[in-house]
Structure 1
Amino acid sequence: MPHPAAEHSAQETVPQAAPPPAPLPAPAPSLYDPPELNPGAWQRAGRRLLAKTIAEFAYEEILVPVRRPTTASSPVTDAPVHRAAAHENPSDPYAEYTLALDAPGERGAPREPGAPTGGGTLSGPGTPSVHGAPDRHGGATGSVGTGALPSRDGAGEPRDRAERPHLSFRARRSAYGHWEVEPDSLLLVEDGAAPAPFTDPLGFLTRARTVLGLDGATLGHLVRELSATLAADARLEHTGLPGSALAELDYAHLEGHQTGHPWIVLNKGRMGFSASDAARWAPEGRTEARLPWIAVRSALATYRGVPGLDTAEQLYARELDAPVRESFDAALRDRGLEPTAYLYLPVHPWQWDGTVLPLFAASVAAQDIVPLPSDGDHRLPQQSIRTFLNVSRPERHTVKLPLSILNTLVWRGLPTRRTVAAPAVTAWVHGLRDADPFLSEECRVVLLGEVASVAVEHPLYDGLDEVPYQYKELLGAIWREPLGSRLDAGERARTLASLIHVDPAGRAFVAELVRRSGLAPEVWLRRLFSALLPPLLRFLYRYGTVFSPHGENAIVVFDEQDVPVRLAVKDFVDDVNLSAQALPEHEGMPEDVRRVLLTESPDFLPQFIHSGLFVGVFRYLAPLFREQLGVDDAVFWSLVRSEVLTHQARFPELKERYELFDLLTPRIDRLCLNRNRLHLDGYRDRSERPHAAVHGTVPNPLHAL
């Protein structure tokens, strides 16, 4: 019998209802699936990027391809092509080249920078110097890579050259030592197989690690940055428009179709962005955004403005509708805070979440920084990523905001000291232009001034000299003059970079503009050079002052027939450089401007026009005019030289300046932008922004024609 207690317990047991079924799990969020990541777009973008990689690495002599003999039956040679033929003959026709890759036993075996690959030879003694370093003109010509096919493998034993992996391709040499690589000609030979088409820039990096002299850490980051660049290129390939459609776009929307820096291979790495971040915030995403604002206590923030915007209240009266301004004030009062103790500025949502909240957490907790809603205006990100054009109210200022991402060599923040100084620099440069009738009345050059700024100091980082510079560029805003209100009726503007854009079908955008103008290509070129060069030359020769007129900062203003008529320049506060030799024109410069502007020796100052405009843009524009518009290279560069000489003849009183700032020297320094990432700086932190490397020299096509 059961125990009485147990029986009693059993009698008291009440059957329990079955538990309710567990709720079904919420559907998993759909994963971001970019439509451009498809085989066709990826392969087409990869082919273009691989050709660019080889061309730009060869230009900087990171690689030295070897020219094949002209007869098809001749064997491949391991002798590097003669320097004069390879680098100095702008009419050198297309020829076959080979480029040695790592032998299987060499892959993954790091070597000291400067050590030869296999049995190959270096291109010269020495190491690259850095722009601004004392040895800048020391004739640095060293290269850590070589394209010569070695005669010995990694173990020191002879090796059949035909067995060594290599690329072959067709290329043409042109001005400034430029390489024009035919993308469709790239063939890979490895593992004894027949030559096969090759379109994989990522595979090239891993196959050429030793040839390129990469250490493991740099290689790992390079693969990531190149992969992000290629993904962005695939999007541009997938969504690209023909030139006829691009020509109808306004300035703000055309920016979303540009392919980025033509010289830097890793030009869309945006390290820090996720894939969905890039889709949302990169220019090729073409997505309008409403930017939130923040309030920052005046003890942390500094406001500066040009005359007419002397106070923040004057700026806010132009930028904020009255109800928006009232909502900002109310948000502070609701927290028991006094609005007059704060400055208002927009903030990039990515920066707020990824940088401001983690690094300014103490300031947010103390209500020194207070989040606010959006002002309601729609804005589009431009090629610089951190700059937004107002498409709801085009008459309002463009805003430039810091982004703590690594892209095209540097972190994309806003340096606190230069942000504070931006309006003062603008006022000084505008003063030079406005007092000079040639600039203001004849050239009518547009200088889009950075007319107001708010710089926010970090309570700790800004007082620590030794910390990486990225931590001193965290928070702030710059307001730049809008472009549209500076244009005459019928005028339209496009960045200079758009002129070297090629659509997915291979047609150059500039060819479409020339067609629409009705002018002969050579005549159109003359108009382009007469719009661009006179104001730049005037600032150089008369004022010992240069901008960096690269494709993104220089803007071409066209008339209603798409004929170039004048120049506009933006972002010049960051890129203004002065002659280190004292000039009378600098005597009245305000001290706060003098402290922030960079200086260079007079012989190096013209390098900014050469590298920014001639090497950085015209080096790519000249082949497009040759191949698609029938203008020979010699004619192209003679027109550039003619414009320089015409300007000099116009102002004979500046003859000494033409000799001091000589644009027509036989050779110029070769500035290198890709060497910084591969060999000099890599991905290391540093306390100052890096400068471009200088590696040897190249012939100047303007010297004598």
Structure 2
Amino acid sequence: MTSPTTFPARHTPADTSATIATSTSVVDHLDPRVWRRVNRLLVRKALSEYAHEHIVEPRLDATRPARRPRHQSYALATPDGHTVYRFEARLMALGHWAIDADSIDCLAGGVDREVDALRFMTDFKQALGLKPEQLPIYLDEICSTLYSSAYKQLNTTHGSRALIHETDFQVIETSMTEGHPAFVANNGRLGFDGADYRAYAPEAASPFQIVWLAVHRDQAAFHCVPDLSYEQLLREELGEETLARHDAQLRDQGLTPADYLVMPAHPWQWANKLSVAFAPYVAQRRIVFLGLSEDRYLAQQSIRTMFNISAPRKRYVKTSLSILNMGFMRGLSPYYMSGTPAINQWIKELLDRDEALRATGFTMLREVASMGFRNHYYEAAIETDTPYKKMFSALWRENPLPLLKEGERLMTMASLLHVDRDGEALLPALIEASGLSAKAWLQRYLRAYLTPLIHCFYTHDLVFMPHGENLILVMQGHVPVRVLMKDIAEEAAIFDTSAQLPENVRRLVMDFPDDLKTLAVFIDIFDGFFRYMNQILVEHEVCSEEDFWGEVAANIRDYQAEHPRHREKYARYDLFAPTFRQSCLNRLQMGNNTQMINLSDPAANLKIVGTLDNPLAPFAPRTVMSASGPQAKGQGPLRSTTPEVAS
């Protein structure tokens, strides 16, 4: 492995890509040895996730004895049989393929061929099912994912052992190396060039300035929570001196400041989209460039969200960013923005009133204000939903730092799946440093993370999108003590269609069939996060699969025992059911890799393929005898302090 390379950071959008793009700095991380390594890692992920979703079907290979305990040898042949991929894997709960990356080899016509992720995609393009017009886009995303993976292999300087002691939240945030654990093409970011990557990718950790624009009130709207106002927000974000300077800039152009709102934009979005696609409004002075921010920001794992490192206690800023990444053009809808603060406020008040949630410490970071600018040309021309209507919006989210108590620190929950470039996982090191047993650590984590989500599901028919990037762990002594939920308005849903809600909150109501509602737990939590967490703990010999899933089951059993009033729902939405339907994310992305889902019809977005065995089923609560006879199914389990496997 070559030594880490340090790249110069571009700090302002005025440093255009012209100079950098003609230099070698945009490719000097593409070392041949590193490139071979990241291709092998991505092929491992593709084999694992595509096999999990039954896109490909590896077969046992009896001709090759496996070298690692509990692993078996497998082979996957191309449709014409010319090329065969061979590897060792351990099949785990939820149909998860834990594959040894170093065991992968490729034979083409009986001759060894280098493991190449792009070649793998073309070898199995028929199985992937991408339309001819979509396949090149997917290959672009795969290539971009490899490009960023190579950069991270060379430039991530903080290993897992260092990160467990790190107190700077942003160091942890920018040290993550994987991205979404399920999607194979998860770092596409199509639209960025090599210079943009170093300026705006989270792992590049390059501070940059955002753009401030004045937008005419005829086409722009501002919304906020009740305890905030436009004037207060701008004073706190920009200060009186900057606001006075902006007013003077408008007056110097013969414009009336009161006719305008001041709105942030991502520097890439301004240079590449707004200055061109919104050129008529710039020419008409409906959009006026005011300058760059004095504060500097860092991109978060959610790449269009920015953290203010000049004033670390100020709010997050999130803006439209029209790059194609993981099935979406990453815009923000001005129509959705109009209801975002009200939705956040309603959910926050709901959570705050709930005594059980307060006991877990669970809370959310409100999206307290939003702005959206409407492009009338595109609206008149295009009636359907389109990324062209989502190019110019922004929101402000609460900062987690003011919520910390003495001795607490922050860590993205994505870090629990982090494996550094030397193959060391952060989670086992974190458990070891805590001084707790694996079971005790997991119990505290599950109490902070899973308990409130289960409570929201059963008590309020409310679900979130609780993957690693959407939650921030509050840590004390290397142990999670509570979690902070974020990214609320576009990714929360209420399943109770009869709920009496304010009109501006009604869009949260989703009419899902009963048999799909539990997928909010089974797929989003078990399959989407615990599946990978389980592998890390087992492979690092921290605990067994039975121990891990036993603790998950015990957490849910204990919750149900503590809240017997929902026993009918526990039976109706049984989290101990033998199987559940499998919803496949890569199939979803490859079905339409430019607009993966329709937010207005989430049930139609599910790609269901078969079922998965539920790892909680062996730990289901057993019927017990009481003075009044046997406890009926669905009447709520007795509290148990240890996992008890049903006979």
Say which one has the larger Rg.
1
Q: Which residue of 2 is the match for residue 110 of structure 1?
A: none
Kindly report which structure 2 residues correspond to 1:557-572, keeping only aligned pairs within 5 A, or say none: 557-559=474-476, 561-572=477-488
What is the aligned counterpart of 1:681 among 592, 597, 603? 592
2:272 corresponds to 1:360 = no
Partners of 1:27 and 1:242 lie apart in 2 by 29
Q: Which residue of 2 is the match for residue 528 of structure 1?
A: 445
- 1:606 CA drift (Å): 2.4
Q: Which residue of 2 is the match for residue 263 of structure 1?
A: 182
Partners of 1:554 and 1:435 lie apart in 2 by 21
Partners of 2:23 and 2:552 lie apart in 1 by 54
AA in 1 matched with 2:609: H
2:78 corresponds to 1:101 = yes
Partners of 2:28 and 2:411 lie apart in 1 by 28
Q: Which residue of 1 is the match for residue 28 of structure 2?
A: 35
Change (3 A) 1:345 1:660: farther
AA in 2 matched with 1:65: P
Partners of 2:222 and 2:455 lie apart in 1 by 32
- 1:601 CA drift (Å): 3.3
Partners of 1:229 and 1:366 lie apart in 2 by 40
- 1:688 CA drift (Å): 6.7
* TM-score, normalised via structure 1 length: 0.81
Q: Which residue of 2 is the match for residue 76 of structure 1?
A: none
> Is the contact made by 1:228 and 1:270 (CA closer than 8 Å) also made in structure 2?
yes
Q: Which residue of 1 is the match for residue 43 of structure 2?
A: 50
Change (3 A) 1:597 1:388: farther
2:425 corresponds to 1:508 = yes
- Shifted more, 212-221 versus 514-523: the winner is 212-221
AA in 2 matched with 1:633: E
Partners of 1:639 and 1:350 lie apart in 2 by 45
Change (3 A) 1:639 1:231: same
Kindly report which structure 2 residues correspond to 1:262-341, keeping only aligned pairs within 5 A, or say none: 262-309=181-228, 311-341=229-259
Partners of 1:39 and 1:27 lie apart in 2 by 22
Partners of 2:468 and 2:428 lie apart in 1 by 17
Change (3 A) 1:37 1:250: same
Change (3 A) 1:223 1:71: closer
- 1:254 CA drift (Å): 1.4
Kindly report which structure 2 residues correspond to 1:268-667, keeping only aligned pairs within 5 A, or say none: 268-309=187-228, 311-440=229-358, 442-463=359-380, 466-467=383-384, 469-559=386-476, 561-582=477-498, 586-587=499-500, 589-595=501-507, 597-667=509-579
- 1:682 CA drift (Å): 4.1
- 1:480 CA drift (Å): 0.3
Q: Which residue of 1 is the match for residue 7 of structure 2?
A: none
Q: Which residue of 1 is the match for residue 633 of structure 2?
A: none
Partners of 1:669 and 1:275 lie apart in 2 by 41
Partners of 1:269 and 1:215 lie apart in 2 by 18
AA in 1 matched with 2:423: G
- 1:214 CA drift (Å): 4.3
> Is the contact made by 1:48 and 1:183 (CA closer than 8 Å) also made in structure 2?
yes
Partners of 1:394 and 1:524 lie apart in 2 by 30
Partners of 1:676 and 1:412 lie apart in 2 by 17
Change (3 A) 1:178 1:686: closer
Partners of 1:563 and 1:353 lie apart in 2 by 43
Kindly report which structure 2 residues correspond to 1:204-219, keeping only aligned pairs within 5 A, or say none: 204-219=120-135
AA in 2 matched with 1:64: E
* TM-score, normalised via structure 2 length: 0.88
Partners of 1:685 and 1:384 lie apart in 2 by 17
Change (3 A) 1:510 1:27: closer
AA in 2 matched with 1:613: I
- 1:683 CA drift (Å): 4.2
- 1:465 CA drift (Å): 5.3
- 1:216 CA drift (Å): 3.6
- 1:409 CA drift (Å): 1.1
Length, aligned pairs only: 593
Partners of 1:511 and 1:27 lie apart in 2 by 40
Partners of 1:27 and 1:521 lie apart in 2 by 48
AA in 2 matched with 1:511: P
> Is the contact made by 1:549 and 1:612 (CA closer than 8 Å) also made in structure 2?
yes
2:59 corresponds to 1:66 = yes
2:148 corresponds to 1:232 = yes
Partners of 1:481 and 1:685 lie apart in 2 by 28
SS at match of 2:97: strand
Structure 2: gaps spanning 5 or more residues? 1-18, 620-647
Change (3 A) 1:516 1:71: closer
> Is the contact made by 1:255 and 1:382 (CA closer than 8 Å) also made in structure 2?
yes
Change (3 A) 1:611 1:345: same
2:116 corresponds to 1:200 = yes
> Is the contact made by 1:468 and 1:688 (CA closer than 8 Å) also made in structure 2?
no
SS at match of 1:399: strand
- 1:474 CA drift (Å): 0.9
> Is the contact made by 1:97 and 1:170 (CA closer than 8 Å) also made in structure 2?
yes
AA in 1 matched with 2:492: V
Kindly report which structure 2 residues correspond to 1:69-84, keeping only aligned pairs within 5 A, or say none: 69=62
- 1:600 CA drift (Å): 2.5
> Is the contact made by 1:551 and 1:613 (CA closer than 8 Å) also made in structure 2?
no
Partners of 2:216 and 2:21 lie apart in 1 by 42
Change (3 A) 1:274 1:468: farther
Change (3 A) 1:396 1:613: same
SS at match of 1:395: coil
Change (3 A) 1:620 1:458: same
CA RMSD of aligned residues (A): 2.2
Q: Which residue of 1 is the match for residue 631 of structure 2?
A: none
> Is the contact made by 1:603 and 1:660 (CA closer than 8 Å) also made in structure 2?
no
SS at match of 1:171: strand
- 1:292 CA drift (Å): 1.5
SS at match of 2:293: strand
Partners of 2:509 and 2:379 lie apart in 1 by 20
Partners of 2:21 and 2:148 lie apart in 1 by 27
What is the aligned counterpart of 2:582 among 667, 670, 676? 670
AA in 2 matched with 1:227: C
SS at match of 2:516: coil
Change (3 A) 1:422 1:627: same
Partners of 1:28 and 1:243 lie apart in 2 by 33
Percent identity, aligned pairs only, is 35
Change (3 A) 1:64 1:177: same
Partners of 2:223 and 2:593 lie apart in 1 by 35
Per-residue deviation, residues 658-705 of structure 1 (Å, max 9, x unmatched): 233332222222111111233x22447998788342222111111223
- 1:255 CA drift (Å): 1.6
- 1:566 CA drift (Å): 0.8
- 1:222 CA drift (Å): 2.0
> Is the contact made by 1:57 and 1:63 (CA closer than 8 Å) also made in structure 2?
yes
Per-residue deviation, residues 407-458 of structure 1 (Å, max 9, x unmatched): 0111100012211111000111011111112212x11212001010011111
